[in-house]
Amino acid sequence: MLHKLDGPPKEFIYDRLAHPPATFRQEKLKAEVRLPAARKFIAEHKLNEVFAGEEKDLGIIVQGGLYNGLMLALKTLGLADAFGNARIPILCLNVVYPLVPEEIVEFSRNKKAVLVLEEGQPEFIEQEIATFLRRADVQAKLHGKDVMHMAGEYNVESLVRGLSKFLAPHAAHLDLASGSSWLNSIEETKQKAASLLGPLPVRPPTFCVGCPERPVFSAMKLVAGEIGRPHVSMDVGCHAFASFEPFSQGNTLLGYGMSLASAAGVGPMSSRRPVAIMGDGGFWHNGLLSGVASNLLNKGDGVLVIMKNGYASATGTQELISSPTEAAREEAIGQSAAHSDRTIEDTLTGLGVKWLRTVNNYRVGEMAKTYKEAMTTKEKGLKVIVAEGECQLERQRRLRPEVSRKLSKGERHVRVKYGVDEDTCTGDHSCIRLSGCPTLTVRDNPDPLRTDPIATVIDGCVGCGLCGENAHAAVLCPSFYRAEVIQNPNWWDKLWHTR
């Protein structure tokens, strides 16, 4: 920093303290000074917008983010055009907090009915608007969650249904036939799709392409098929995605860094050792004390898997105590990972953890062997597996500028890509069920005598090698191959590939 402070302010300002009793005065200032000032600013700068309409007896108050969907719904009902001109007056709340009572009252005065469109629950905005109107003795009938669903997204279909319910008793003269016809066509399309395709599979959230955490859960799934499924306590972070298919490895989620504490509560009631999954961010945040130290103090017996990807990845790859140093990142250019130091392992050893293993995430067979040993060993006490593999997002951010620089200079670059031999693939798709990688999908079988689609690897592949590792570890079909894509080949590459 260029301008360092000499010390704390010469005058101690109690209003800057963030704890009682100083906060009591802050709350008073908030209600009496700051809130009125904010409302005045909103009104003077016209941050909220009013759009006039012909049906002056009605009104719609909508959150700003829902305005475009509302206009499309009104257009579907024949009550708006493509240029944003609606027949029903609209108050668009570009600022939803604080609300300005004068704006709400002025808009709703002399109206028979007002509809509040607000996503989420409970209906905070609707309740506050009801208070404003009651205090001002405005007699407009207020609607909101009574015609719309309480929770979930307000898409155009739901808005058309809700608007139809709102308008039917208050504007019988409006022709809503176009909306009804559109809703009927939507239902017919859904029915036809269901009859042709059956129930469509859900698409759960999943890991990034090449994520180092995916192979760990592939290994856990393989071992669970041998020894049975244990109770797996998840943690807040990317690894919570493993609770979805195809892994289904996750039974409880308590809080950030709290998975081992959660597993300790389940352990006495389980016939198998409970498993806790924790990221290195969660480990430093809370897991070190409430998890590891507590487990050692209480002589617990369980398995802790720490995803050592180098960053607090789920919240934007913030750096940690154990993040790779700048020197390690520079050395890792072109390699598979920027390995961090042994900070986590040294900390665990210092606390008294006796059973400790560090494994490369992408070695599925080695990971499965280590995990099975931890689950079946007769040795009592906490068993910790540190699964090390750099966050793929951070790795790609590190590699892309370097690759771009090399290509722009005409330098040779080799990119690894995996694929599936279409003649060898049997169409069993065990690889997909075990991996769940978004780049591992299916396509039509080129063999006219076979109807089952074959597996294929699309262009998003980052060359992590998980599909091939899974095929080897699970003794699947040998249809996967590894290819090297050479950009800016040298004379030897050209000679070798033209022989």
Amino acid at 108: S
Q: Which two tokens stand for residue 163?
A: 């608007």
CA 200 centroid distance within chain: 22
Amino acid at 485: V
Q: What is the largest CA-CA distance in the chain?
A: 91
Choice between 451 and 129, residue whose per-residue pLDDT is larger = 129
Check: CB of residue 259 under 8 Å from CB of residue 235: yes
pLDDT value at position 60? 96
Choice between 224 and 451, residue whose per-residue pLDDT is larger = 224
Beta strands 413-420 and 303-308 are unpaired
Amino acid at 115: L
Cα dihedral angle (37, 39, 42, 44), rounded to 10 degrees? -70
21, 271, 323, 350, 370 from 355: Cα distances, Å? 48, 21, 23, 12, 11
Is 80 exceeded by the pLDDT of residue 199? no
**Domains of the chain, with CATH numbers?**
1-45 (no CATH), 46-197 (3.40.50.920), 214-395 (3.40.50.970), 412-497 (3.30.70.20)
How many Å apart are CA 74 and CA 51, to the nearest integer? 13
Segment 132-152 mean pLDDT: 93
How many Å apart are CA 222 and CA 476, to the nearest integer? 12
Pick from 237-241, 384-388, 415-419, 462-466 the range whose average pLDDT is largest.
Answer: 384-388
pLDDT value at position 434? 77
pLDDT value at position 384? 96
pLDDT band at residue 335, thresholds of 50, 70 and 90?
Answer: low
Is 60 exceeded by the pLDDT of residue 383? yes
Q: Which two tokens stand for residue 49?
A: 């917008």
The predicted-structure confidence for 296-327, as pLDDT tens digits, reads as follows 999 989 999 999 988 887 777 788 887 877 66
Is 60 exceeded by the pLDDT of residue 1? no
pLDDT band at residue 162, thresholds of 50, 70 and 90?
Answer: very high
Is 60 exceeded by the pLDDT of residue 336? no
Is 60 exceeded by the pLDDT of residue 333? no
pLDDT value at position 492? 81
pTM above 0.75, yes or no: no
pLDDT band at residue 5, thresholds of 50, 70 and 90?
Answer: confident
pLDDT value at position 332? 53
Check: CB of residue 400 under 8 Å from CB of residue 408: no
Choice between 371 and 16, residue whose per-residue pLDDT is larger = 371
Lowest mean pLDDT among 5-9, 155-159, 228-232, 282-286: 5-9
Describe the crossing of helices 214-227 and 364-376 by its angle, rounded to 10 degrees. 50
How many Å apart are CA 316 and CA 329, to the nearest integer? 18
pLDDT value at position 189? 87
From the number of C-beta atoms within 10 Å of its C-beta (0-12, 13-18, 19+), residue 179 rates as buried
Is 80 exceeded by the pLDDT of residue 29? yes
Amino acid at 168: A
How many Å apart are CA 248 and CA 236, to the nearest integer? 16
Give me the residue label for tokens 């006796």: 354
pLDDT above 90: percentage of residues in the chain: 44
Check: CB of residue 419 under 8 Å from CB of residue 455: no
The answer for residues whose C-beta is within 8 angstroms of residue 191's C-beta and 6 or more apart is none
Mean pLDDT of the chain: 86
Lowest mean pLDDT among 107-111, 146-150, 276-280, 420-424: 420-424
Is 70 exceeded by the pLDDT of residue 49? yes
pLDDT value at position 141? 94
Is 80 exceeded by the pLDDT of residue 41? yes
How many Å apart are CA 480 and CA 432, to the nearest integer? 12
Lowest mean pLDDT among 268-282, 367-381, 469-483: 469-483
pLDDT band at residue 337, thresholds of 50, 70 and 90?
Answer: low
Choice between 442 and 107, residue whose per-residue pLDDT is larger = 107
Lowest mean pLDDT among 347-356, 378-387, 443-452: 443-452
